[in-house]
Amino acid sequence: MGNNIITLDTASPHAPDAKILIIYTGGTFGMGFSKNRILEPYNFKNILDEIPSLKSYNLIIKVYSFDIPIDSSNVSPADWVKLCIILKDHYDEFDGFVILHGTDTMAYTASALSFALNNLMKPVVFTGAQLPISAPRTDARENLLTAIEIAASKNEDGHPLVPEVCVYFNNNLIRGNRAKKVESMHFDAFESENYPILAKSGVVIDYNFPYIKCWKSSDQFTIDKSWETKVGYLKLFPGITNNFVENVLKSDIKGLVLETFGSGNAMTDANFLSMISEVIANGLVIFNVSQCLGGRVIQGKYKTSKGLKDAGVISGKDITSEAAITKLMYLLSKSLGNDILKIQLSQSLKGELTD
């Protein structure tokens, strides 16, 4: 399987309950202190020294490390494709996958993979850490151990309990395309404001089954590799000038996520609305998401959003901005035509919004 895969020495590799592949991309989790107390990429061959309890699992656990670990701030669609290819290449061999990823863009990557993995019926659990694995008070150990348990969990029929892309962090399991990073200094880094958490970890892992994707027999697992990067993101604010908005709208983009006030509201300035109408008539797709962490876009509820609706702006409902931009990149790459594209933007494809 390649030189960058190692097998961990666990309790019973010959009669395992499950086979798990950990994919290490980079990020805080995998940093260790050198002899000079300088943080540098961690050698996962030594992970059992940091987390000896991994030895007690009745699992086959293997680790795939990126040749060059990447800071999540440098993650690009090319890295999403690389992850998809790794999952496709090893999909049949493993029962579940844990992806170690930097927290800054984890919600983007989890959202992207939720769209790009077709007929996924196995757990893909993203996790990471706010402190390096070598730090005394690190959250890396608990996050990794529980993520592995979730990825390995099955029901009485032998089917995975959580057959979808998700994020596990600080005791909470969140649907991947509903996750948002909300904290940089505390361990509770991720929240899901508009969708219930999938599980809560305590003495036991309490699964919220009504909100977890159900396992079902499906067609062959496939991946998508194309992403349209000619997209933009515009956050409205009091005092934003029409000249600035025009420069964004008329730049070389095919789609725009427009982050509006409250339940999807924007200025009623005639020139602003005229610009919006013009670029939409010329083929630009605009996707309306709220600046609020919770709630949803309801275009037309107030006069301040009726103009956007009349212009042809698509409501993002309760989608996160991370899921909105990755969904736009995903659908634009398919050359669907604007009518079909707009329908699919407004519908739930992978549980990313509430219809």
Q: Which residue has the tokens 């919600």?
A: 107
Out of 28, 109, 146, 326, the active site residue is 28
Residue 146 a catalytic site member: no
Contact assessment for residue 189 and residue 182, using Cβ atoms and an 8 Å cutoff: yes
Secondary structure of the chain in the HEC alphabet?
CCCCEEECCCCCCCCCCEEEEEEECCCHHHEEECCCCCEEECCHHHHHHHCHHHHHCCEEEEEEECCCCCCHHHCCHHHHHHHHHHHHHHCCCCCEEEEECCCCCHHHHHHHHHHHEECCCCCEEEECCCCCCCCCCCCHHHHHHHHHHHHHCECCCCCECCCCEEEEECCEEEEHHHCEECCCCCCCCEECCCCCCCEEECCCEEECHHHCCCCCCCCCCEECCCCCCCEEEEECCCCCCHHHHHHHHCCCCCEEEEEEECCCECCCCHHHHHHHHHHHHCCCEEEEEECCCCCCCCCCCCHHHHHHHHHCCEECCCCCHHHHHHHHHHHHCCCCCHHHHHHHHHCCCCCCCCC
**Residues with active-site annotation:** 28
